[in-house]
Structure 1
């Protein structure tokens, strides 16, 4: 049985070109999905962050409510003391005692005013927090609507392409086994270097099908002979002739 090492250059080129065409079809499906998977993840992360913000705001509002309750109780205590001191004023025996009670009343009246100020300031702060909460919740609602639409779009594409993508992935794994190991290593390295994933390209209009630099006639002749693997001197992609390129059809 022949091994990869026994393959001719043409067979090696056919194997790596077949792999390229399969991988390019997988790339087309990924391009169809576009940035949707990343957009879905970003929206999910943003919503999670905003929900955490709402939890923090709720905790702050709860803390403000507790503060208001404390100050309201302190105000009531001060008012109760004022009433107590008013009754004591009716039974004073001298001016010194009257003045002492009057001073205590003044202190408690200041305490009432101070607590009123704290309660008023807290009410303003609570209102600001509630506005922040409502704005955050509105933003979450908008993002959830956007997320729902993105997910529906992505699920539709996945539903239409999942079967094909799985079949192509299996074909790609199978095709890799038929490619010379050293050539496969070069293929994967070149492929990862370019956004379009093209590592094997045909000659188009006397130019490299990857970088579009002109390929000299003598070089084109050598490529057509399939006697050695030739790469573009400008971009490093593996070059094949049009006849070989057109002869390979990987279907779906």
Structure 2
């Protein structure tokens, strides 16, 4: 059985930096999309909420129309009763009966007045709701137009980047399989804990990439020797020398160009 080739520290560093370049590329694609997916989602929720409100307003209008019809029917019923009572008054035998019927007529007249008052109130409410409906419809049209614009913007970005992102994610997983598990775990942990997601960085102008803390010359020489994995004492990032980083960038850029 052939003995498995031992992976050197330099090979591990190159593999880790390659993985970092792939994941940084994925981050870059996602940054291009930015807040657009959330913005689209918020706009969809807003439009859905406005449409729901508009539905309720239209239901309220139907109820008010129904109430007006009810009150008009009540008025007609009261008028019919007044007519009936007026006829009965012609045949009364005494003042007591006349007065009793007069009270009934008076009550129905008051009922008519009250119904007419309610009808006026219902019409006022209808006018008010129609104004709100008009404003809501206008708002829905504006927000829907804005939503469609943002969706179009997002779809355009997705169509340009989705395939590349999927390919990069597959590459990222494939590269992780070729790196020992403990290093992948360390790399993932560092990526989660640093602001820009950079877990493996080169030395730039005597400091770790993205940092202002200088690295002592002796440590820089150790990093350049590629004999052991060294981390930045301030950020915890894994450090590689500038030459190795440049070589891997050229290699990975060729890979990215094919995607």
> TM-score, length-normalised on structure 1?
0.93
Per the TM alignment, residue 197 of structure 1 is displaced from its structure 2 partner at its CA by 1.3
- State whether residues 210 and 237 of structure 1, in contact with CA within 8 Å, keep that contact through their aligned partners in structure 2: no
Q: Secondary structure of the residue that 2:215 maps to in structure 1?
A: coil
Per the TM alignment, residue 22 of structure 1 is displaced from its structure 2 partner at its CA by 0.9
Q: Provide the residue aligned with 2:116 in structure 1.
A: 116
Q: Provide the residue aligned with 1:97 in structure 2.
A: 97
Per the TM alignment, residue 209 of structure 1 is displaced from its structure 2 partner at its CA by 0.9
Shifted more, 148-157 versus 128-137: the winner is 128-137
Q: Provide the residue aligned with 1:87 in structure 2.
A: 87
Give the whole-Å Cα distance in 1 for the aligned partners of 2:128 and 2:216: 72
- State whether residues 194 and 235 of structure 2, in contact with CA within 8 Å, keep that contact through their aligned partners in structure 1: no
Per the TM alignment, residue 2 of structure 1 is displaced from its structure 2 partner at its CA by 6.9
- State whether residues 202 and 239 of structure 1, in contact with CA within 8 Å, keep that contact through their aligned partners in structure 2: yes
> TM-score, length-normalised on structure 2?
0.90
- State whether residues 44 and 147 of structure 1, in contact with CA within 8 Å, keep that contact through their aligned partners in structure 2: yes
Alignment of structure 1 residues 51-200 onto 2, 5 Å: 51-200=51-200
Q: Secondary structure of the residue that 2:210 maps to in structure 1?
A: coil
The number of residue pairs the alignment matches comes to 251
1:149-201 CA distance string (max 9 Å, x none): 11111111122223322322222122111222111001111112234211111
- State whether residues 208 and 215 of structure 2, in contact with CA within 8 Å, keep that contact through their aligned partners in structure 1: yes
Structure 2 residue 43 is the aligned partner of structure 1 residue 47: no
Task: Give the superposed CA RMSD.
Answer: 1.8
Per the TM alignment, residue 3 of structure 1 is displaced from its structure 2 partner at its CA by 5.5
Q: Which runs of 5+ in 1 are unaligned?
A: none
Give the whole-Å Cα distance in 1 for the aligned partners of 2:13 and 2:4: 15
Q: Provide the residue aligned with 2:21 in structure 1.
A: 21
Per the TM alignment, residue 40 of structure 1 is displaced from its structure 2 partner at its CA by 1.1
Give the whole-Å Cα distance in 2 for the aligned partners of 1:93 and 1:182: 111
Per the TM alignment, residue 17 of structure 1 is displaced from its structure 2 partner at its CA by 0.4
Per the TM alignment, residue 64 of structure 1 is displaced from its structure 2 partner at its CA by 1.9
- State whether residues 29 and 165 of structure 1, in contact with CA within 8 Å, keep that contact through their aligned partners in structure 2: yes
- State whether residues 201 and 240 of structure 2, in contact with CA within 8 Å, keep that contact through their aligned partners in structure 1: yes
Shifted more, 39-48 versus 158-167: the winner is 158-167
